[in-house]
Structures are given as C-alpha cells and as structure tokens.
C-alpha cells in the first residue's frame, strides 16, 4: 500500500499518523489532558510539514526524509539508528541498575526495553544471517582434500 503514496509524502504522513494516534491517546485520558492533546497534534502537524519541506532539499537528510535514499544514505541512517539504540541501551541499563539499587517500583520498564532489544536482535540474526551452519564445500566427500603427492 505504501508504494501508492508518493515517496516525498511517506515520512510526513507516518509522522502525522503516529503523532495523531499518540495525541488521541492523551485525549482519551480525559480531564484536562485534551489541551495537551491539541497542543501535541499541532506540534505533530508542524513536524510533518517541516519534514515535507526537508524532503525537497538536495542533501542526505532530504533524501532520507523523502524516501529516496541511495545505498550510502541508507547506510548512514542505519548507523545513526544503531548508535541511537546503543545510547538507549546504556540509558536503560543505568535506569535498571539505579532502580534495583534504590528498591524502586519503576525498574521493570527498563527490563522490558532489554527484553524487546534482545528479541529484536535474535529476530535480526535469524532473518539476516547467512547459512553459516552449512558445511564448507571442501568438507564434503566429493571435495575431499588430497595431497598433490597422492
């Protein structure tokens, strides 16, 4: 379905959609939270417009925002996200350690982050790893190594 959406619109629409869902969650909270929900929706829409404008620029950031990145730009994005995830892991580890040390009740969300990260990494391994378990072809009987003298 996403291929029917113009590349330049994909990321702004994703931001608008995710932001709107989050704003609705705040609205459902009830009470005065609707004011925060409205402010959040405005911020999200402004962010989506800014992303759309950025997507038109002739630079790496614009290519990523406009969903037209080439292999180098995708690699840049991947490495940046990996670095961000490493930071998040360190922060989660510190949070978990401090939470346990002070007998806090809020330690478990940090453990959830670790669990999700671990599951994601296992999924990544199973999806992207090459078939390293396959035997090397020179280990099979047809390719048995022989001495040149034999």
Give me the residues that bind other proteins (CB under 8 A), please: 58-60, 63, 69-73
State CA 5 to chain mean position distance. 21
- For other proteins, the closer of residues 59 and 97 by Cβ is 59
Q: How far is the CB of 51 from other proteins (least distance, A)?
A: 18
Q: How far is the CB of 58 from other proteins (least distance, A)?
A: 7
Q: How far is the CB of 3 from other proteins (least distance, A)?
A: 18
Q: How far is the CB of 59 from other proteins (least distance, A)?
A: 7
- For other proteins, the closer of residues 32 and 58 by Cβ is 58
Distances (CA, A) of 10 to 45, 55, 66, 70: 14, 10, 7, 16
Q: What secondary structure does DSSP assign to 24-73, as a single string? A: HHHHHT-TTHHHHHHHHHHHHHHHHHHHHHHTTSSSHHHHHHTT---HHH
52: alpha, beta or left, given left = phi > 0 and alpha = psi -120 to 50? alpha
- For other proteins, the closer of residues 47 and 73 by Cβ is 73
Q: Which helix or strand (DSSP H or E) is residue 19 part of?
A: helix 7-28
Q: How far is the CB of 72 from other proteins (least distance, A)?
A: 4
- For other proteins, the closer of residues 60 and 111 by Cβ is 60
- For other proteins, the closer of residues 29 and 74 by Cβ is 74
Distance CA 99, CA 106 (A): 6
CB 7 within 8 A of CB 63: no
């Amino acid at each position: 379905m996403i291929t029917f959406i113009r590349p330049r619109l994909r990321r702004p629409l994703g931001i608008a959609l995710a932001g709107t869902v989050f704003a609705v969650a705040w609205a459902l909270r009830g009470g005065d939270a609707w004011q925060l929900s409205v402010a959040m929706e405005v911020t999200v829409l402004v962010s989506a417009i800014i992303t759309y404008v950025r997507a038109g620029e002739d630079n790496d950031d614009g290519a990523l925002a406009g969903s037209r990145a080439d292999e180098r730009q995708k690699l840049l994005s991947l490495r940046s996200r990996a670095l961000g995830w490493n930071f998040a892991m360190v922060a989660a580890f510190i949070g978990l350690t401090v939470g346990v040390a002070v007998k806090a009740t809020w330690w478990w969300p940090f453990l959830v982050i670790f669990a999700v990260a671990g599951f994601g990494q296992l999924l990544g391994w199973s999806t992207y790893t090459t078939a390293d378990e396959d035997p090397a072809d020179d280990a099979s009987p047809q390719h048995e190594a022989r001495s040149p003298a034999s």
